[in-house]
């Protein structure tokens, strides 16, 4: 009498596929994550997560940040979440440009996107710039009204979106924001930013030791993100920064727009 075979065992390949899909869903849901965070969230061993991420990266479904140990989904996984994929595509396009222009400009560069009343740093050269006084800036949330990135976003985003953001900031009621929400001051800032084509922060309104300029990255009438350059206020005047660096920032934004449009 032959013994009845037991239930079929899940093969290693099926287990790996299941875990890989779980990782992909998790990264898509949170937008970006570090391998260690994924391992904790899914109760998986870190070596397994790294191995599966390498496979997903080789297949084109995820990509590691060029400046931090963060992983994001790619456009190939856009059907799982268009917003996250679009940000990933923007970051992928920015990585080589930041390497190219960061070496030329020396002062640190940031790529930020708008998220729930803040500009969030997605890519940066702070870690590579010898003139940076900041480190570990990926994921840092910047105020909208008191940074050049936020001002660039507000000035160039569609009118309906701008009205919603401003109303949201008023409801949040951050005391530091209230002077900049005064209607005449706000309108003057928007008008000046549009006239220059570049947003400026140079009055110590956020980090007193630094100043910054920023330009928007636009596609089909929407602002996808902003590119900023930060410098130490005592090292250079705002007028000098605008004269010397506004054009290179504009080049970065234009090249990003071309790559995203293609």
| pLDDT tens-digit readout, 185-214 | 999 999 999 999 999 999 989 989 999 999
pLDDT band at 136 (very low <50, low <70, confident <90, very high): low
Return the percent helix, strand and coil in the chain, to nearest 5.
Answer: 55, 15, 30
pLDDT digits (tens, 9 = 90+) for 56-65: 888 888 888 8
User: pLDDT tens digits for 161-184?
Assistant: 999 999 999 999 999 999 999 999
End-to-end CA distance of the chain: 67
Label residue 105 exposed, middle or buried (CB < 10 Å: 0-12, 13-18, 19+): buried
How many C-beta neighbours within 10 Å does residue 74 have?
18
Q: From CA 151, how far away is CA 213, in angstroms rounded?
A: 10
Does residue 259 carry a pLDDT above 80? yes
**Greatest mean pLDDT range, 23-37, 75-89, 184-198:** 184-198
Partner residues linked to 253 by β-bridges: none
Confidence (pTM): 0.73
Q: Among the listed ranges 72-76, 96-100, 123-127, which one has the minimum average pLDDT value?
A: 72-76
- Cα–Cα dist 145/178, whole Å: 9
Looking at the predicted structure, is the pLDDT value of residue 39 above 70? yes
SS (H, E, C) 123-151: EECCCCCCCCCCCCCCCCEECCCCCHHHH
Q: Distance between CA 46 and CA 58 in Å, rounded?
A: 18
User: By the 8 A CB rule, do 107 and 229 touch?
Assistant: yes
Q: Round to whole Å and give the CA distance between 174 and 37.
A: 31
Please give the Cα distance from 87 to 31 (Å, whole number).
8
Cβ neighbours of residue 74 closer than 8 Å, sequence gap 6 or more: 60, 61, 62, 63, 85, 88, 89, 92
Domains, the chain: 12-79 (1.10.10.10), 81-261 (3.30.450.40)
DSSP H/E element including 200: strand 199-201
Q: Is 225 exposed, middle or buried (0-12, 13-18, 19+ CB in 10 A)?
A: buried
Query: What is the chain's alpha carbon radius of gyration, rounded to the nearest angstrom?
Result: 22
């Amino acid at each position: 009498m032959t013994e009845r075979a037991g239930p079929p065992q899940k093969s290693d390949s099926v287990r790996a596929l299941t875990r890989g899909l779980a990782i992909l869903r998790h990264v898509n849901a949170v937008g970006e994550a570090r391998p260690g965070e994924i391992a904790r969230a899914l109760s998986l061993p870190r070596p397994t997560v790294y191995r599966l991420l390498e496979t997903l990266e080789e297949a084109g479904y995820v990509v590691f940040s060029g400046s931090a140990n963060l992983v994001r989904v790619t456009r190939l996984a856009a059907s799982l979440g268009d917003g996250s994929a679009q940000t990933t595509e923007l970051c992928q396009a920015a990585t080589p440009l930041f390497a190219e222009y960061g070496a030329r400009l020396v002062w640190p560069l940031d790529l930020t996107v708008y998220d729930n009343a803040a500009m969030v740093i997605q890519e940066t050269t702070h870690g590579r710039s010898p003139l940076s006084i900041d480190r570990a800036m990926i994921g840092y949330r910047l105020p909208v009204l008191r940074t050049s990135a936020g001002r660039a976003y507000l000035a160039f985003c569609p009118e309906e979106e701008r009205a919603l953001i401003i109303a949201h900031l008023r409801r949040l009621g951050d005391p530091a924001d209230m002077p900049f929400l005064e209607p005449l001051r706000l309108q003057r800032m928007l008008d000046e930013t549009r006239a220059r084509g570049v947003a400026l922060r140079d009055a110590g309104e956020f980090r007193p030791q630094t100043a910054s300029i920023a330009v928007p990255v636009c596609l089909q009438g929407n602002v996808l993100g902003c590119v900023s350059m930060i410098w130490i206020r005592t090292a250079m005047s705002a007028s000098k920064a605008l004269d010397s660096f506004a054009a290179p920032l504009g080049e970065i934004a234009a090249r990003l727009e071309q790559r995203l449009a293609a």
